[in-house]
Amino acid sequence: MVITGASSGLGREAALHLERIGFQVCAGVRATADGERLLAESSAGRLHPLRFDVTEPGQIRQAVDEVTRRLGDVGLWGLVNNAGVAQPGPLECLSGAQLRRQLETNVIGQVETIQGFLPLLRAGRGRIVNVTSGLGRVALPYLGAYAAAQFAKEAISDSLRRELRPFGVTVSVVQPGAIRTPIWEKLDQAGEELIDGVPEPTAALYRAAFRAFLRRNARQVHRSRTTPGQYARTVARALTAARPRTRYPVGTDVRIASLAARLLPDNLIDRNLAALVRPRDG
């Protein structure tokens, strides 16, 4: 099976777990050094670093060719689309380049990766696991670009599931909530860099509330009891269940967000989130 975004965080945890339970794992990494670190942690000799960036079509083709050489005519059992970035910030403050990077990594690159591996997945009557988050159901302020990508990935997963059903390829979504991984430290850094680079009249409108949001978000992640191991085991269930579910939430916060999105009117959700955007000192 193939997993993208395995250099660190949730992808690394899932790649190592899947190897431990018996999978041959082709782990997508962006740098040779990341692959070497993964190999050093490999315990069963079934993990193979696969160097490619999902935003580079040429590298995707090379990865598909390499996996094809490994598999021969067997076909591919699973593709886990775990790679992603998170660009925080008020939508007014985001540049076109920042929006494009968010969507190209989390949406377009994912679709191109799926397209590349689909012939192998059809041959193996395999499974696609797309990783989104709780922000694929409820869009928080200051995470609009990231939520847009996650909403899109949810929609793409629904369409793919229906389109690929005749070929015996299943599509599931894994929705992790707040889990302490390096992505959140990167998010804080990206947020500070963003607000520092915005023209002052605009930055002044958002700076205090946005920084308070980042601090609140960091506290929530540190308090979270959801672990990378829970995420990895959930990915494994999606790949091994006799009848895979369409969605697998990971964490209480995701279950609450999903319930709120289904049951609460928009204006009530807006009122509950209003404190996040209220101007304050700091």
Burial 44-72 (b: 16+ CB within 10 A, else e): eeebbbbbbbbbebebbeebbebbbeebe
What is the pLDDT, as a whole number, of residue 253?
87
Please report which residue ranges of 54-95 form alpha helices under DSSP H.
57-71
Residue 122 confidence (pLDDT): 97
In order of 40, 75, 92, 247, the CA distances from 279 in angstroms are 48, 55, 16, 36
pLDDT reported for residue 279? 66
What's this model's pTM, rounded to 2 decimal places?
0.94
Contact criterion met (CB below 8 Å) for 3 and 80 = yes
Q: Judging by DSSP bridges, how do beta strands 25-29 and 127-131 pair with one another?
A: unpaired
DSSP 8-56: SHHHHHHHHHHHHTT--EEEEESSHHHHHHHHHH-SSS-EEEEE--TT-
* Residue 201: strand, helix, or coil: helix
The pLDDT value recorded for residue 200 is: 95
Residue 280 pLDDT = 58
Domains of the chain: residue spans and CATH: 2-178+227-276 (3.40.50.720)
Q: How many residues does the chain have?
A: 282
Cα torsion angle, 168, 162, 112, 176, sign: negative
Closest C-alpha to 232, from 84, 39, 16 = 16
Active site residue 146: yes
Q: Say which of 146, 206, 231, 248 is annotated catalytic.
A: 146
What are the strands, taking DSSP E only, across 60-126?
78-81
> What are the strands of the beta sheet with 170-176, ordered from one edge?
47-51, 25-29, 2-3, 78-81, 127-131, 170-176, 247-250
**Cα–Cα distances in Å, from 178 out to 98, 135, 232?**
23, 10, 14
What's the pLDDT at 282? 44
The reported pLDDT for the residue numbered 187 is 86
pLDDT of residue 69: 95
Beta bridge partners of 25: 47
For the chain, what is the mean pLDDT? 93
Strand partners, 171: 128
Residue that the structure tokens 């490999």 belong to: 42
Task: Write the CB contacts of 238 (distance below 8 Å, at least 6 apart in sequence).
Answer: 127, 129, 172, 174, 244, 245, 248
Give me 124's structure tokens: 């193996």
**Which residues of the chain carry a pLDDT beneath 70?**
279-282
- Residue 257: what pLDDT? 85
